[in-house]
Chains A and B, each alone.
Chain A
Amino acid sequence: MTEILYSLPLWYAKVTAMLIFLGMLIVAWLLPYNFVVQGAPDKKRWRDLRLWATLLTIVQLFIYYIF
């Protein structure tokens, strides 16, 4: 098991990290809209926190692509 782990190239780590970010984004978009904006004082577009999660994920994917 350890031998297999040690032989994996480093890009596996990058891809796994990116998949975790994408997985979390999918979880965010699977949540009902009403659940996400519950308690917001108005219905403005930026109150939808799934958009914040999308922006964050794009930035993180870009960072892990570079480094």
Chain B
Amino acid sequence: MWEFTQTSVHWIDIVLIVSYLAGITVFGFYYKSHIKTAKDYFLANRSLPWWVIGLSIIGTNIGSNDYIGAAGNAYSIGIAQANFEWIGAIPAMILSALVFIPFFWRAGVYSIPEYLGLRYNNAVRFIAACVMSVFAVVIVGVFLWATAIMLQTYLGWPIWFSILVTATVVGFYTISGGLGAVAITDTVQTFIMFFTAIIVAFIGIEKIGGFDVFIKTLQNNYPDHLHSFLPANHPVFPWPGVILGLGIVLSPAYWCANQAILQRTFAAKSEWDGKASMMFAACLKTFVPFLIVMPGLLALTLAGKSITHQDQALPWVIKHILPAGISGLMFVAFIAALQSSIDSTMNSTSVIIVRDIINVAKKTKLTDGAQLRLGKLFTFIILIVGIAFAPITAYFQGIYVYVQYALSLFQGPIFALMLFGILDKRITPSAGLFSMISGLAVAAVLGWLQFNMLYIAFLSFVYSAIALYIVSLFTKRKPEAELKNVVYSNVVEID
């Protein structure tokens, strides 16, 4: 943990990794001169084109858990893992692009809690902001630890040094360049990920003996690995849970209400660019299984069932298939996946803390200059707390799974508030507050009763939706004038 150790990494790989870390820092630092106002820092002065945002969305979405976990799951259960990228993403991304993003963009909000404040009230905004911020800070710590583990395993760097290098590089361009730097570096990182995936797939299939041999091996030896859905009694991914929990609730909650994902669409240079960016990301998402599922299937066809733990599938591919230079590139893609998730989480959380917690709690509103200063300060504080929290994750096995589980408790109720709040102006602010708090309690009870995570998301969403309508019958609606650009019927009337 504290010492540098000798590893057998080729010098070409080390040059690639160090060049990437230096290059991405310089690239991000270039954006420092663009930051003059809080709008520059948080929303890149609303200047980003659709293709940059689309690539940035995918970069933010793909984290280390996708690379290691998805490749491992593909090794274990096969192509059913791709449901997280297909039925578990694309319908929700279409919904987000065509129904949600237009409202966020027209309302001119900086964050999801800010939209909830406009649609419901500041109490809903404040609670949502607090919950999102706590999860985000923990996730930064988990991501930093995951990066450090990789650097230690691959380069022999001690954990403390690896965390410091990662935090310094990401912190440098995120704090100095704001969302503009984050989006541009994410774009570069996504290019690296796709480019590397194509090379890895090409080399792997070549090693097997061609694409026909690859498919025939899977068909003959592992036919179950070519089914897109698993039986209803599967302990982890039962198909009704995948359809109802993932497809109908968790996925829309993520793609329509996740701050780190959506913040860059708020920064689009036009409403159309915001919508098109999510559509473009959905097109890219179709091919994401090629990045993260393919290595698992390559390991299965080449190593058979000899790999003892499924999470070793991807490291096995790197070690046994990839030549020097390419394995370094694969490692750079890893680091890129992690960094693009860390920088987006830091930037989006600082927006929420400054505008939705401090600004709401204070009696006098913050000036633009104060928001800019606090934005940079809190990005730094989030990074420091993340660094402090990173080693703690080592003492909790699978803490990331627990974080995701806890987050899923919150996503059903919040998505119900977003969806019905946008579609129906009869929903009242009091109903929103009641449904969010009681929906969270219902989800916690279902968790205590040990329901599958996917079913908890679906049932808490259904409960919150029913509660919204029942409480709205007895409470006061928001005045029509205050719902301008916030509710569907009003927007269509304007056009």
A: residues with CB less than 8 A from B are 5-6, 8, 10, 12-14, 16-17, 20-21, 23-25, 27-28, 31-32, 34-41, 47, 49-50, 52-53, 55-56, 59-60, 63-64, 67
Contacts and interface: CB of A to CB of B under 8 A. Distances in A.
B279 A6 contact: no
Interface residues of B, number: 40
A16 to B, nearest CB: 5
Given A14-B228, A53-B98, A35 B495 contact: yes
Contacts, number: 113
Interface stretch (B86-94, B161-169, B371-379, B406-414): B86-94
A53 B99 CA distance: 13
Contact of B271 (A10, A14, A38, A55): A38
B109 interface: no
A37 B272 contact: yes
B229 interface: yes
Contacts of A35: 102, 491-492, 495
B240 interface: yes
Contacts of B272: 37-41, 47, 49
Nearest to A16: B243
Contacts of A12: 239
Nearest to B239: A13
A64 to B, nearest CB: 6
B279 A53 contact: yes
B286 A32 contact: no
B279 A49 contact: yes
B98 A28 contact: yes
Given A24-B94, A27-B99, A31-B98, A10 B229 contact: yes
B98 A67 contact: no
Given A8-B232, A56-B94, A38 B87 contact: no
A56 B95 CA distance: 13
Given A20-B243, A27-B95, A60-B286, A6 B232 contact: yes
B387 to A, nearest CB: 40
Q: Is the interface of B mostly helix, strand, loop or mixed?
A: helix
A27 B87 CA distance: 16
Given A13-B229, A21-B87, A21-B90, 15 more contacts: A6-B233, A10-B227, A14-B229, A17-B87, A20-B247, A27-B94, A32-B492, A34-B495, A35-B102, A35-B495, A36-B98, A52-B276, A52-B280, A56-B283, A67-B226
Contacts of A52: 276, 279-280, 282-283
Interface in B276-316: 276, 279-280, 282-283, 286
Interface string B62-94: 000000000000000001000000110011001
A24 to B, nearest CB: 4
Contact of A39 (B99, B248, B273, B286): B273
Given A8-B232, A10-B227, A13-B242, A32 B495 contact: yes
Nearest to B247: A20
A45 to B, nearest CB: 14
A35 B494 CA distance: 10
A58 B97 CA distance: 18
B231 A10 contact: yes
Contacts of A38: 102, 271-272, 495
B271 A39 contact: yes
A28 B87 CA distance: 17
A52 to B, nearest CB: 4
A40 B273 CA distance: 7
Contacts of B279: 49, 52-53, 56
Contacts of B286: 56, 59-60, 63
Contact of A67 (B227, B242, B274): B227
A23 B282 CA distance: 16
Closest CB pairs A-B (n = 3): A39-B271, A39-B272, A13-B229
Given A17-B243, A35-B495, A24 B228 contact: no
A16 B495 CA distance: 35
Interface in B244-288: 247-248, 270-276, 279-280, 282-283, 286
Contacts of B97: 49, 53
